[in-house]
């Protein structure tokens, strides 16, 4: 009899049930091997369309395609076994109509194996969230600073600095919760407003540049690893991998130039994963 026990992935209902409980830990992820390192420590991984900037050097997320999201989503699924994986719907893949959003979300789910999709917007996409969740596709919403609207917003700006802006953002939060989203990313929102929304709605809020009292937090993995050239101001770097990579490249270049490379014959097998 096999004693092999496969790790079970965290599920959408388990994340939903964490409202008001232990903080939900999440990171973005675009890449199989780095996903494997962080998998044991997070509740969910978001294959965010921020990959346009982080992986492809784009200025914004607007150029990211559905095929890019699917390729990276599948890679993160292959690299992980425990975390719930959520894949972003890129700009232009869900705004036109609920049926179009459904077709594209189905491609993401079928071709990556992930369990849920994320889409940006509040009240304006509530019908789409309802349409998808009624048809078996869990949706994480994303309100406040929504990077796909950068041209409308005139850049990346904190939302809700003025109290006069609060009612619209609170209405967005309530609309996505009522439509059936299982959680909502609250990005770049003034702290007192993020705290109010967290108290008001019945689904978990996942903060990024928002408030520590959100039900969970997310950061772009490369930002918190110290790999991003210009991380947002609110980011705390938990490592300095950029400097370590440069140091390793320098040491490698020295080893090659000094011909102090280890002997290579008969060494082509793989080392065991650490
Ligand atoms: O695309 C992304 O990485 C995101 C997070 C910043 C929440 O949406």
187 is a catalytic site residue: yes
Give 1's pLDDT tier (boundaries 50, 70, 90): very low
Distance 55 CA to ligand 1 centre (A): 13
pLDDT of residue 6: 72
From atom 6 of ligand 1, which residue's Cα is the shortest distance away?
220
Is 225 a pocket residue for ligand 1 (Cβ < 6 Å)?
A: no
pLDDT of residue 104: 98
**One of 14, 187, 222, 265 is an active-site residue; which one?**
187
| Helices 166-179/191-200 angle, 10° precision | 30
Is 45 a pocket residue for ligand 1 (Cβ < 6 Å)?
A: no
More confident residue, 152 or 218: 218
Contact 208, 194 (CB under 8 A): no
pLDDT of residue 4: 57
Is 89 a pocket residue for ligand 1 (Cβ < 6 Å)?
A: no
209: left (phi over 0), alpha (psi -120 to 50) or beta: left
Mean local confidence (pLDDT), 166-173: 98
- Hey, CA dihedral for 105, 108, 114, 118, is it positive or negative? negative
From atom 4 of ligand 1, which residue's Cα is the shortest distance away?
48
Question: Of the ranges 22-26, 38-42, 150-154, 248-252, which one carries the lowest mean pLDDT score?
Answer: 150-154
What is the average pLDDT value for the chain, to the nearest integer? 94
Mean local confidence (pLDDT), 49-59: 97
Is 222 a pocket residue for ligand 1 (Cβ < 6 Å)?
A: no
pLDDT per residue as tens digits for the range 183-219: 999 999 999 999 999 999 999 999 999 999 999 999 9
Q: What proportion of the chain, given as a percentage, has pLDDT over 90?
A: 88
Ligand 1 probe mutation, 25, 26, 28, most atoms within 8 A of CB: 28
Is 184 a pocket residue for ligand 1 (Cβ < 6 Å)?
A: no
Distance 220 CA to ligand 1 centre (A): 7
Residue 242 has pLDDT above 50, yes or no: yes
Query: Domain limits of the chain?
Result: 12-224
Is 181 a pocket residue for ligand 1 (Cβ < 6 Å)?
A: no
Q: Which residues contact 170 (CB under 8 A, 6 or more apart)?
A: 193, 196, 197, 200
Report the C-alpha gap between 154 and 204 in whole angstroms. Answer: 28
Report the C-alpha gap between 189 and 55 in whole angstroms. Answer: 26
In words, the CATH class of domain 12-224 is alpha beta
Give 267's pLDDT tier (boundaries 50, 70, 90): low
Atom of ligand 1 nearest to the CA of 206: 7
pLDDT of residue 154: 87
Mean local confidence (pLDDT), 169-187: 98
Residue 72 has pLDDT above 80, yes or no: yes
Is 170 a pocket residue for ligand 1 (Cβ < 6 Å)?
A: no
Whether pTM > 0.85 for this model: the answer is yes
């Amino acid at each position: 009899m096999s004693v092999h026990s496969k790790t079970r992935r965290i599920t959408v209902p388990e994340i939903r049930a964490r409202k008001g409980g232990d903080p939900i830990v999440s990171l973005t992820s675009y890449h199989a091997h780095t996903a494997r390192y962080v998998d044991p420590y997070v509740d969910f991984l978001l294959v965010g369309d921020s990959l346009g900037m982080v992986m492809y050097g784009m200025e914004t997320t607007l150029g990211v395609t559905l095929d890019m999201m699917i390729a990276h989503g599948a890679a993160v699924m292959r690299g992980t076994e425990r975390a719930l994986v959520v894949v972003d719907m890129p700009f232009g893949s869900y705004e036109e109509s609920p049926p179009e959003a459904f077709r594209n979300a189905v491609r993401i789910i079928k071709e990556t194996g992930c369990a849920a999709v994320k889409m940006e917007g509040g009240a304006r996409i509530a019908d789409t969230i309802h349409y998808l969740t009624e048809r078996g596709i869990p949706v994480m919403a994303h309100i406040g600073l929504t990077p796909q609207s950068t041209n409308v917003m005139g850049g990346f700006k904190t939302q809700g600095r003025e109290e006069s802006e609060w009612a619209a953002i609170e209405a967005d939060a309530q609309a996505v919760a009522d439509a059936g989203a299982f959680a909502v990313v609250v990005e770049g929102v003034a702290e007192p407003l993020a705290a109010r929304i967290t108290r008001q709605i019945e689904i978990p809020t996942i903060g990024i540049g928002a408030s520590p009292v959100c039900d969970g937090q997310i950061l772009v993995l490369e930002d918190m690893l110290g790999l991003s050239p210009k991380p947002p101001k609110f980011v705390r770097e938990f490592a300095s991998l950029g400097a370590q990579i440069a140091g390793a490249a320098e040491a490698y270049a020295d080893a090659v130039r000094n011909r102090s490379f280890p002997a290579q014959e008969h060494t082509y097998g793989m080392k065991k994963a650490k």
